[in-house]
Structure 1
Amino acid sequence: MIKLLIADDEQIVLDSLKFIIENNCHDVDVIGFAKSGREAIEKADALRPDVIFMDIRMPGIDGIEAIKRIKEIHNDIEFVIITAYDYFNYAKEAIKLDVVDYLLKPMNKNKVIDTVLKVKKIVESKRENMIRELEMKEKMITILPHLESEMIYSLASATFRQENIDFYGSIFDINLNIGYALVVLFEKDDNESHLDNLAGNVKMHETFMYLKEFIKNLRPCLAGILLDRIIVFVPVESDEDLFTIKNTSIDFAEKILKETHGKESSVRIGIGRPYETSYFSKSYNEADFAAKMGIDSITHFDDIKLSDKEELILSNDDEELINNIVSNNIDTALIKVNSIFQKLLLHYNDDMDLLKSKVFSLSIEIIARINSYCDVTSVFEENLIIEILRTNEFESLKKIFSRFVSNIILKLHKNRERYYTGLIAKAIEFVNENYDKDIKLYDVAKMLNISYHYFSKTFKEETKCNFVDYITQVRINKAKEFLSKDSMSIKEVCFKVGYSDPNYFSRIFRKETGMTPTEYKNKNSKGGVAFGY
């Protein structure tokens, strides 16, 4: 049914049109009349017609102005103008408003019928198009999650075809040129029974789906669920600073982790570095490695590296052992050693020479991989070759290899301590030399090329003091030293130790020492005590 509103200030025109339409045009309902432009605007808003027949010459607001105002609010309404021949030139302005047709007074019955059928066809066509669009949108809403999951899988598995990047970018309305991977890993509870796991499958699926949507609402990204994890592609701009990307990614991860609090399964989040889309699988491998091997609930791949930024791709048992070694997890590493040796025994049976050859090859592989973190060649050279060659017992060979793995982990641990102690030493040296400047934790972390979250945590672990408090201690100790010199005023000391507001400096000084700078200076000058730091 097509709804029609007729606007004309002549009653005879209203009655004539109503009679012609009702008796000759099926499925067209005349739902109202208006005798002025203002009334036409009000009726259009109240009745929401599909079509309006509008006389262009009416008292007050004329038909042209009424059409303009109605279209501003209801752009889907179609218009047919009614005009006398004398005003036909004036009606040309209405043509610019994209009206369907016009009717000249006095009106011809056949012309009215033809015009009604014409506009009816237009309205019905628009309705059909709208229905098709809605159906298409519904299909897309159904298909998009599957398409998104398939794309995430193809990106992570390095099977994505680069030539499709513009197509997928337009579908998801997202920049797919460069991005990093974020992996939300749900850790399994090994103590749960099989029945408990089955009972929890539905609930876990709901958790996954909820968290996936939560992640996508935080920022533009793609997310897919794969087994025990959610894999996220987070797009970045090509000119975006890597340090900023790293810290922004950790902020993003913290919001996700906060949302998982209270859930039954514990969550670990790993973050990879940004790459072009064709190399996204590298970022995924890094994020997966960081999620599994990181010490904290959130770990960026860069924060578990000890030196050069070498690529680390892991898959089989041997590589999982290397992961355990890198993460300094002796217990897990030795369990993995036991698992490897059980498989070796089954595979090679009693062929001790092949067993020793495999262990020897694995040892070389471990040395090659771990040397990217620190030089552990000496561990391999400590009679390992001779011990492997001399032994002819399976258990003895396993003990030799286990000791070799333990020694590497110990050396890595010591190297890590030296590495991060060295970073904190650099930070302390920087503060001691630049205490008079505006020092921010973010800037120091950037200088050291580690995330500010990780730097803050490591600094406190090493110094037993947070970074801001340490800067304050250095500045106040320096202030004591300068205040002991009669030649410097309180204001000069304030600026010299990095504060721009003397009043704020005085408050901090009193909080730290129990005295105002003036009291301290007076006491020091009387007692003649020299203070250092």
Structure 2
Amino acid sequence: MGELKVLIVDDEYLIRNLLRMRIDWEKQGMKIIGEAAHAAEALEFVDKHRPDVIFTDIYMPSIDGIEFSERVLKKYPDIKIVIVTGHDEFEYARKSIKIGISDFILKPIHASELLSVTEKLRKTIEEERTREKEMEVLKEELRRNLPYLKEKFLYHWLNGSLSKEEIYEKAAYFQVPMGRGTEAFQIAVMEISSVSATHTEEQLILLRMECRNKIEAFYKDNSQVIILMDTRNQIVLISQSQDNHLVSDCEWLMANLLHLGTCTVSIGIGRRHEHIEAAHLGYEEACRALHYQAFVGKNQVVCFEDIVEGGDEQYRSNTELLRQLQFYISVGSSERASQTLGQIFDVSFASVSQFRMAAMDVIMECQRAAIEQQIENEHVFDKETLVSILTAELLPQLMQSLERYVLHVAGVIYSRQEAKVGNLISQVKDYLEHNISNPEVGLASTAAAFFVSPGHLGRLMKKETGQTFVEYLTNLRMKKAEMLLKQTDLKGYEIGEQVGITDPHYFSILFKKNMGRSMNEYRNCRE
């Protein structure tokens, strides 16, 4: 920070001169750039030269120091003003605190007091300017992040997490056109995929960016269409246009994007809604229509109205039951999955279309569970099977087909898990056989060796062998001890060491408890 510019205002020349001569202003990082004998002259000087600091007397002709200070601070609030006052004027001067006076100096003026005030002023100005610079950096960062923050606001709006007033307030800040009284809107969700299975993630991102640029170019003269990318990398169009051309626009856009020859395009369109608070409904409907592409094929524009016949009655997913269903399928529990499926459909539906919407939710959970278990089975993802479910006209027929599908997926997952469990237990048994002489071998160390939790391994051992881990290991050690007693002349403590039990007394007691007789009796019986 360079030298601070100082203006002295006082109708007495001696006081102005005293202020000028009392301290070394340059040493204080300040420079007196002017003097004024009255407020009118000072106001003109302030407008022309913008000083950083002003020292002013209270009593001056025409305009006093308080009124002068008030005028300056109203126009230039960053200027620091110090009132020069006598003891008899001090109480009057204190009233100027309310208008933002920085400090006071009492007459007669002492160098020490003037030094203290100037040092404090300089420190205050330095801190303020540092904060201003920091604030400018933050503002610049805000400007750079504004597009991201704008999309974040729009995404929160689409998810129904904002009140009506919050929507209008944030829309005004981000300059999103959203006029009151003309709130009707319609939402489309567009999924862009590559036609090539070998595309890298970077290539796919660039492809989506290219498509978005073309869409933005199409709507460049239409401020009533908002375009953003949601968290699923889907392009979302929010149309507030009164002409209701969104469907035809999407069909035109899809045809032109397909001409690129590098992508597939799927578009779902929700119903038209009249209130901005209903954005989450329109977005949800568009996403549901988009999911329908899995059954009718890609490169289609599907309207939610076309797949739901229930008029104004809307289908609502039971997210809690769907989460339970996915969990039971994921663990291969066919019985629990079947029970949960019954709960999902234990409601009154308005139409067959709503049955199908519920069935689509169930199918999506089945496929999600299969994907999580890394199962790629043509019977799990068979398109004809899924279409046959969704084209069922009667609830009993739909339920039968759907239940067969759910049980099939759960069964495939269960079989895969059982094979994994059997293979794991086989490996654990082999591990124990080879490490039986190690006294440190136990449930925790064995579980760690196979990257599973001790509790999980213990449950699997009990299920597969009918014994707890400790019972199985002890039995294994006793069988090995029995074999050594029969085939060698090793002493008891040596046999204990061979089977991982280093305490001879404990080994002797354990052997007798498990084999029904002591080692000596066992050996004598052998002879």
TM-score (norm 1): 0.43
